[in-house]
Structure 1
Amino acid sequence: MFLKISSDIHLEHLSVADAPALYEAVELSRANLAQYMAWEKSVADVSGARAYIKSRLTSGLDRAQWFSIQFHNQFSGVFGVKSLDRDKGVCELGYWLADNARGNRVVGQILAVMIPYLANEQGVRTIEFQCLENNFASIKIIERAGARLLRKVSNTLDIPNKEQAIGIYSLHV
């Protein structure tokens, strides 16, 4: 699947063949990713990138879909519909962005396309996000999309600053 977001951004279904590009993006963005993404340590080589991708593609979560983010035709991160419960009309979205695309409103543009798609084509009424409380850039993106903080839960991720909670955000569409 190829989904054009803008002239500079498109999404493609994530595949194991993306492992070398994913590893390169992680390697170039490791300092930023390490602050918020516990999986960053496991992507220490292309084999680790393959395992990361396989774990997403075989998560077993209802209707999960994972995409590579392509910015200027370069692998620039991952966007996921982590789960989608059509009966309840709820889905969870997640993403990470490589340094080569940061500061360009890439995720905001993706959300501007995906949120209406999920609402109109998939019957989603509520979109949820999880975000570490010190990840101010990500919080700004999801709040700009209209999501609001519902509650905070304890952080069990293996990251620096473990004392920060995880915020659960919700957007009603």
Structure 2
Amino acid sequence: MFLKISNNIHLNHLSVADAPALFNAVEQSRANLSQYMAWEKSVLDIACARAYIQSRLNSGLDGAQWFSIQFHNQFSGVFGVKYIDPDKGVCELGYWLADNARGNRVVGQILAVMIPYLATELGISTIEFQCLENNFASIKIVERAGARLLRKVPNTLDIPNKEQAIGIYSLQV
């Protein structure tokens, strides 16, 4: 699947063939990713990148869909519909962005396309996001999309600054 977000941004279904590009993106962005993404430590080579991708693709969660983010035709991160609960009309979205695309409102542009799609095509009425309380860039993205903080939960991720809580944000669409 190819989904054009803008002239410079598109999404492709994430595949195991993306492992070398994903590994390179993680390597080039490790300093930033390590602050908020506990999985970063596990992507040590292409085989580990393949395992990361397979864990997403085989999560077993209802409605899960994972995409590679392409910015200027370069692998620049991952965007995911982590799950969909069709009975409640709820889904959770997640993403990470490589350094080569940061500061270009890439995720904001993706959300501007995906949120209406999820609402109209899949009947989603509530979209949830999880953001570490010190991940100000991610919080800004979800708040700009209209999400509001519902509650904070304890952080169990293996990251620096473990004392920060995880904010659960909700967007009614």
Deviation at residue 67 of structure 1 after TM alignment: 0.1
Q: Does residue 1:115 correspond to 2:115, yes or no? A: yes
Give the SS at the match of 1:160. Answer: coil
Q: In structure 1, what is the Cα distance between the partners aligned to 2:130 and 2:138?
A: 10
Moved over 4 A (4+): none
* Alignment map for 1:154-173 (pairs within 5 Å): 154-173=154-173
Q: In structure 1, what is the Cα distance between the partners aligned to 2:97 and 2:47?
A: 20
Q: Does residue 1:39 correspond to 2:55, yes or no? A: no
Deviation at residue 151 of structure 1 after TM alignment: 0.1
* CA deviation profile, 1:55-109 (whole Å, cap 9, x unmatched): 0000001110000000000000000000011110000000000000000000000
Q: Give the corresponding residue for 2:132.
A: 132
Unmatched runs of 5 consecutive residues or more in structure 1: none
State the identity %: 86
Which amino acid in 2 is paired with 1:6?
Answer: S
Q: In structure 2, what is the Cα distance between the partners aligned to 1:159 and 1:47?
A: 22
* CA deviation profile, 1:93-131 (whole Å, cap 9, x unmatched): 000000000000000000000000000000000000000
* CA deviation profile, 1:32-68 (whole Å, cap 9, x unmatched): 0000000000001001100000000000011100000
Give the SS at the match of 1:162. Answer: coil
* Alignment map for 1:57-68 (pairs within 5 Å): 57-68=57-68
Deviation at residue 26 of structure 1 after TM alignment: 0.2
Which amino acid in 1 is paired with 2:20?
Answer: P
Q: In structure 1, what is the Cα distance between the partners aligned to 2:17 and 2:151?
A: 38
* CA deviation profile, 1:112-156 (whole Å, cap 9, x unmatched): 000000000000000000000000000000000000000000000
Deviation at residue 9 of structure 1 after TM alignment: 0.1
Q: In structure 2, what is the Cα distance between the partners aligned to 1:162 and 1:87?
A: 34
Give the SS at the match of 1:36. Answer: coil
Q: Give the corresponding residue for 1:21.
A: 21
Q: Give the corresponding residue for 1:71.
A: 71
Q: Give the corresponding residue for 2:146.
A: 146
Q: In structure 2, what is the Cα distance between the partners aligned to 1:157 and 1:169?
A: 18
Q: In structure 2, what is the Cα distance between the partners aligned to 1:53 and 1:38?
A: 15
Unmatched runs of 5 consecutive residues or more in structure 2: none
Q: In structure 2, what is the Cα distance between the partners aligned to 1:94 and 1:82?
A: 7
The RMSD of aligned alpha carbons is 0.3
Using the size of structure 1 for normalisation, the TM-score is: 1.00
Which amino acid in 1 is paired with 2:46?
Answer: V
